[in-house]
Structure 1
Amino acid sequence: MKRIIFILSIILLMAIPAESQSLKKMGNKLKQTTSKEAEQQVNKTIDDAFNKSGDQAQTNNDKVNETASTATANTGATQELWTKYDFVPGDTVIFEDLLANEQNGEFPSKWDLKTGNVEIAELNGESVINFPSTKNSEIVPLMKEKGDYLPEKFTIEFDAYFTEFCTKFEIKLYDVVNQQKNPDLPRIIISPKDIFIYNKGKTTFDENKNYPYWQHIAISFNIRSLKIYFGEERITNIPNLGGNPSGFSILASQCHEGNAALIKNIRIAKGSMNLYDRVMTDGKFITNGIRFDVGKATLRPESMGVINQIYKLMSEHADLSFSVEGHTDSDGNEAANQKLSEERAASVKKALVEKGIAADRLSTSGLGESQPIDTNNTPEGKANNRRVEFIKI
């Protein structure tokens, strides 16, 4: 019996990668166990088999599921954790990449490469941009405008995957492929425990050591001032950045071989929303900053920046009441989009009521894909059409 278990253990261990990630990519296999490691693990497996009653060994699939649960735990944060989040994205999306229809192992189609190697990979069934080497790789978004495409007010958002304490992402606020270097614009280094801006200093914060995990990163620029958010916390607030941002570049690498550095859900938007002025001038305001899970009416945590601002507005102006209208892009079935838009409007109202706004100050309706404000032929246009409108009543 012991000999049979020994043989089966060897076969099992040869099939398990040393890194229990579900990252799958072409031409870049996960590190396998060495022969010495395999021998040690076989001995441990045999001892465990005889010392424990029943078969308690965890299968490879169990390990994958455990990693997936850990990796997505942060994105499942409830909106209660984001009650002080005050980031509001720009009015109009000028670049968005949700990595739809990308091919695993290929270079991401909406980006250009400055240096290194970047590819599409898959993590837990979702496409991601992978920086697959310990050497730095740097990419820039493919924009229609090759000159200065960042206005005096803009926001940048993306989700970053942190696998260990030394995982870092470097941001430059100019396009390293298509624009000249601007020495007045400092480099921005984002890590799991601090944000460092060259010539401006470093801000540290409590490190989440529950690696690996996704974290939402948000950058807001308003004429001169720069704010950077790490998850729900505003970490950096610089009154005068000292330079004119003109583009966006992102650089990263694996800190140690096999420990992935990934990004997804990248969005650049222009403009700045002053809710009260917009309501008084236009009788309504439009936001694409209220986000939902794909195909669902479940609010994503980063939506709380806008919802918190609306709650503040309605608390300070008791005479304001709104009709909350949900809109979708044209992807999918028209009837399903209509139903989804109604459910999303109801979710927004529910969030505001739970914060303390009287229910009778809010009505809801859904208009599906029937009233686009932009084209449905580009990702950016679809992002602008997926919106929530607050109509003063």
Structure 2
Amino acid sequence: MKTIYFAYFVLLTSIATLGQKKDTDYEAGTKIIATENFEQDALADFPVNWLTNSGGEVTKIKKENWLMLNADGVFTATNFDKLLPKNCTLEFDVLVSDDYSFYSTSLGVNFIPVKNLKKEYQKLDNSALGVDEGIQITVHPQDAGSASNAGTTEIKVITDSEAILKNDKAQKIFTNNHHRARIQFWRQNTRLRVYINGKKIWDLPQVFQNQKYNAITFSTGSYKDEDKLYITNLVLAEAGADTRHKLITTGTFTTNDILFDINKATIKTESETILNEIGRALETAPDFKVEIVGHTDNVGDAKANQTLSEKRAASVKEYLVSHFEIDRKRIVTSGKGATEPLAENKTENGRKQNRRVAFIKI
């Protein structure tokens, strides 16, 4: 049964990613850590693998199981009690009842360090004040005075019992006109990006502090009348390196993950993940011009290695321009053969480091 759930969430993540617009730079993690869709729970009960100080119940809406969150509560899944990797993503679907009132609660999503989850998961509630450490992002489908065409979002970062960052803004993706959305968080070391349906809402470079964040909680305030919040389809996954940031922001990126057939410029299929990350990065930065530089180890003839490095760089260019909307004039290629080693060529590990492809802004 666990295998079925795992396969379901891998498929779900793939479908969600395919459904996003091409201009998103969000990259869902691929190494699944934990998932939740409440299919194993009885309807009208609170899920067995969750903790709360308030309550709620599993409800079926249009053939999907959702957790309805009671008012004034904190909620967490015990299988999400993990030390967050420095590169990871969290995704889930949120749904609100029709005509959700501005006076009803926002949904809080909290990242906190705890020593004992069962005793401390309530640390960060929707007030987000009076705690030592924590990060809270809230979303709400109804902005004040905006009818039904705009919602809001807020972020708070608390460290040493002080709010070192606090801000809010309007958003027009999760609203009363569009009252279901997929919320996506992407951690890259200290950086946090937040997306709604693939649209970037927050991008803050210094959010995660020097803490061991190992709990993810959801929190609510009070409801007005019959309003309700629901969540489902949670996926926590370890992510890869932030390719786009390294290339577009720093202007350089080097990888050993682009693999070729021996002594050929034919790209192996297992290289597609990193190539697709680079391709999407270049698509989102249409003015960015780059030089692709091939490097080899020193095995074989120096002249042959020089030619091979040039051909491999050219193969990478052809892959990018044929799979993505990238003007080929933005990319030039060259090869260095074995003339610029990063490591000694005496061992296989050293030779592996030297067989690389570099991307350099021009």
Q: Secondary structure at the match of 2:280?
A: helix
Q: Kindly indicate whether the alpha-carbon contact (under 8 Å) linking 1:139 and 1:250 is maintained by their aligned counterparts in 2.
A: yes
Q: Secondary structure at the match of 1:158?
A: strand
1:130 and 2:49 matched:
no
Q: Secondary structure at the match of 1:171?
A: strand
Aligned partners of 1:232, 1:154: CA distance in 2, in Å?
A: 16
Q: How does 1:26-175 map to 2 (within 5 A)?
A: 82-113=21-52, 115-131=53-69, 133=70, 135-143=71-79, 149-163=83-97, 164=100, 165=102, 166-174=104-112
Residues 172 and 248 (structure 1), Cα distance of their counterparts in 2 relative to 1, 3 Å cut: same
The residue number in structure 2 matching 1:215 is 181
Q: Kindly indicate whether the alpha-carbon contact (under 8 Å) linking 2:188 and 2:241 is maintained by their aligned counterparts in 1.
A: no
More helix by share: 1
CA-to-partner distance for each residue in 1:124-167, whole Å, 9 max, x for gaps?
22111111x4x2222111128x5x52122221111111332445
1:280 and 2:258 matched:
yes
Q: Secondary structure at the match of 2:277?
A: helix
Cα shift at 1:354: 8.2
Q: Kindly indicate whether the alpha-carbon contact (under 8 Å) linking 2:43 and 2:60 is maintained by their aligned counterparts in 1.
A: yes
The correspondence for 1:197, drawn from 150, 155, 165, is 155
What amino acid is the match of 1:220?
A: W
What TM-score do the two structures reach when normalised by structure 1? 0.50
Cα shift at 1:307: 10
What TM-score do the two structures reach when normalised by structure 2? 0.53
Q: How does 1:368-383 map to 2 (within 5 A)?
A: none
Gaps of 5+ in 1: 1-75, 288-305, 324-351, 359-393
Q: Secondary structure at the match of 1:87?
A: coil
1:320 and 2:285 matched:
no
Aligned partners of 1:190, 1:107: CA distance in 2, in Å?
A: 23
Aligned partners of 1:121, 1:307: CA distance in 2, in Å?
A: 41
Q: How does 1:229-308 map to 2 (within 5 A)?
A: 229-243=195-209, 244=211, 245-252=213-220, 255-273=223-241, 277=255, 279-280=257-258, 284=270
Residues 78 and 248 (structure 1), Cα distance of their counterparts in 2 relative to 1, 3 Å cut: closer
Q: Kindly indicate whether the alpha-carbon contact (under 8 Å) linking 2:189 and 2:208 is maintained by their aligned counterparts in 1.
A: no
CA-to-partner distance for each residue in 1:203-225, whole Å, 9 max, x for gaps?
41343544462111011111111
CA RMSD in angstroms comes to 3.9
Q: Kindly indicate whether the alpha-carbon contact (under 8 Å) linking 2:59 and 2:67 is maintained by their aligned counterparts in 1.
A: yes
Cα shift at 1:100: 2.2
Aligned partners of 1:260, 1:252: CA distance in 2, in Å?
A: 10
Q: Secondary structure at the match of 1:220?
A: strand
Cα shift at 1:110: 3.1
Aligned partners of 1:190, 1:177: CA distance in 2, in Å?
A: 25
The residue number in structure 2 matching 1:303 is none
Percent identity at matched positions? 15
Gaps of 5+ in 2: 1-14, 124-130, 142-150, 157-162, 244-253, 261-267, 284-289, 293-313, 329-362
What amino acid is the match of 1:248?
A: I
Residues 273 and 210 (structure 1), Cα distance of their counterparts in 2 relative to 1, 3 Å cut: same
Aligned partners of 1:105, 1:307: CA distance in 2, in Å?
A: 46
CA-to-partner distance for each residue in 1:94-145, whole Å, 9 max, x for gaps?
11012223321112233222x10121001122111111x4x2222111128x
Cα shift at 1:308: 7.2
More strand by share: 2
